[in-house]
Structures are given as C-alpha cells and as structure tokens.
Amino acid sequence: MRRRELLAALGGAAVAWPLAARAQQARNLPTIGFLGAITAPAQRQWTDAFVQRLRELGWIEGRTVAIEYRWAEGRNERLAEIAAEFVQRKVDVIVTHSAEPVIAAKKATSVIPIVIALAADPVGTGLVATLARPGGNVTGLSLQSTDLAGKRLALLREVVPGLRRLAIMSNPGAPAAVLEMSEVEATAKTLGLDIATFEIRRAEDFAPAFAAFKGRVDAVYVLGDPLINSNRVRLNTLSLVERLPTMHSLRELVEVGGLMSYGANFPDLFRRAADLVDKILRGAKPADIPVEQPTKFDFVINLVTAKALGLAVPDSLLARADGVIE
C-alpha cells in the first residue's frame, strides 16, 4: 500500500473508531423513550425542564442516559406506531403525557415502566388503579383538571361580568376531555349559564366552530388536549376575529392570544416526572410509586387580548395573577 493510501486509511479509522465507540456506548446506556403528543417546538419548555432535572440527578444525556424523542404532532394514529417502536427498541422507561399516548403505551407493553408527566385524571381515565397504589407498569403525575372547572369559571366571570352564554369546546376523542366536560357543564348550570357544546376532532373543525359561536355565546371554555394544543395559534386567531374571550388550562395558549388560563405549571410537572424516572432507573417499580398531584398552579392573563376584546380586567384580579402578558 502506498504511503498516501495508508495515511488515508489510518485517518478514516481514526474517525470511525470514536463514532463506533460512541454508538456502542449509547447502546449500553439506560434509555428513555420520550413520546411527545404534539411537536418538539411546542413542548420545548417542558422537555427542557425534564432534561435539566435529570442532569441535576446525575442523568446526563449522551453520557449517563440516552433519550430517544418521538413526536406524534397531535395525530393519534402515530401514537401506537411510536409506542410499538419503543417496545421493539427495548427502552428502559417510556415518558409521555395526556391520556391517549399513555393508553397507546399501555397497549404496547405491560412490562416497560411508563411515567406520565401529566394527565388530567389518570384514575378516571383508567390509566392507574388508584393514586396511592397505581399498580401495573404506570405511574406519574395527575392534573386533576376536573377539580379546577369551578375556579376557571369563577375567574372568567370576573373578567366577563355579563357572562350568560358559554360555549364549551372539546375533543370528544380525548378521554380526559370527556370527564372534564361533565364537570364544566355541571358547574356552569349551578351558575345559571346557558351552555353550547362544540366538538373538535381535527384541525379543520376550528373555523366552523367559531363561525357557529358568533352571536350565540359570550365566552369559550376550551378543554385542553394534544389536538387543541397543536392548533393553539389557529384557535386564538379565530377567537379574536370573532371577539370571544377564552378560558384555557394551559398558559402556552394565553401566550399566543388566549385571554386567560388557570392550571398546573407544566414545566414543574415535567421536572417532577424526571424524579420518578430517576427512581425507576435506580430499581423502583412503577406499581409502588404513588401518583403525585400538582403543587404549583399558574393564573395567567393576556392584557393585550383583553384590550382587543374591550374588556377591563379588575386590578384585584391582576394582583392575583402569576403572569400578565402586556
């Protein structure tokens, strides 16, 4: 072999060896399969909080743990495919959120631990047996969203004092939304509100729904789920066009034009999900880890939206807000 060819071969080997070594190292690391129900940009704050907490616990991505990310982009048909892939790749733990992805993961495996970063009502939707003793291979964090309906409606009435007619927008394909719908309807009736419900099953349903709202309702209560979150810009653009105040469970929807939100702080829940993953990677069983509940809640108001809708937000309400968008 001539000198130049020999040097090229040696140089190629020098490059290939670290790559091969890194690939082998990655295969030997504990692996987390992260199933995101929406998109990477939409969940960046949540995943950043999760990864940062893992680092604090000694799980450094690429060095002491591998994380495989997959994104369903709000399409439920992708969930079973991703769950099956994680099972085939034999990940050590699956991390996901919302009822539909957890159901898909549970159907795919009864062996691999599943950590729910957040779910509206894991007992009511059948994800776990009880909060204290979840049983099976699933544990995580509960939003208990059904318990917050009264608080959200009370806040909405403070900003929309003439509220008489309420639209409730939900995806009937989301198990948690179905449970919360019942609670919202019951609470609204006790307040003497007239209710109109509208179903959103796909992105194309938003425009017809808001067209139907026109002249019929005073505000819209939006039940969050991956489909709603994936289309949050479209939803809030339409609400502004129709001049309708909206109440959400997630601050991210208020950051893109929604009027207000009240609900658990999602980045905090993803941080706490990392604590549960840490326990599992160190040998704990999901069945023995109680499902935890939120301890940090956010009330957020978008004053730009309020002004555009001609609403005056009381100073007393602003003083109670955790976030004000101006």
Quick: pLDDT tens for 151-195: 999 999 999 988 999 999 999 888 778 878 888 999 999 999 999
Same domain, 33 and 130: yes
Same domain, 136 and 224: no
Angle at alpha carbon of residue 177, lines to 105 and 77, rounded to 5°: 40
User: CATH number, domain at 244?
Assistant: 3.40.50.2300
Same domain, 215 and 70: no
Instruction: Tally the domains of the chain.
Output: 2
Same domain, 135 and 167: no
**Is pLDDT of 14 > 80?**
no
Torsion, Cα 132 287 88 273, to 10 degrees, reads: 40
Domain boundaries, position 176: 146-264+298-325
Same domain, 245 and 210: yes
Same domain, 139 and 45: yes
Q: Which two tokens stand for residue 213?
A: 């709202």
* pLDDT band, residue 11 (cuts 50/70/90): low
Residue located via tokens 């160190």: 282
Same domain, 108 and 176: no
Please give the pLDDT value at position 182: 85
Same domain, 134 and 154: no
* Of 272, 302, 289, nearest in space to 132 by CA: 289
Residue 27 or 71, more confident: 71
Same domain, 135 and 151: no
Please give the pLDDT value at position 98: 86
33 vs 75: CA distance, rounded Å: 18
User: pLDDT per residue over 246-275, tens digit each?
Assistant: 999 989 999 999 999 999 999 999 999 999
Same domain, 221 and 102: no
Same domain, 236 and 96: no
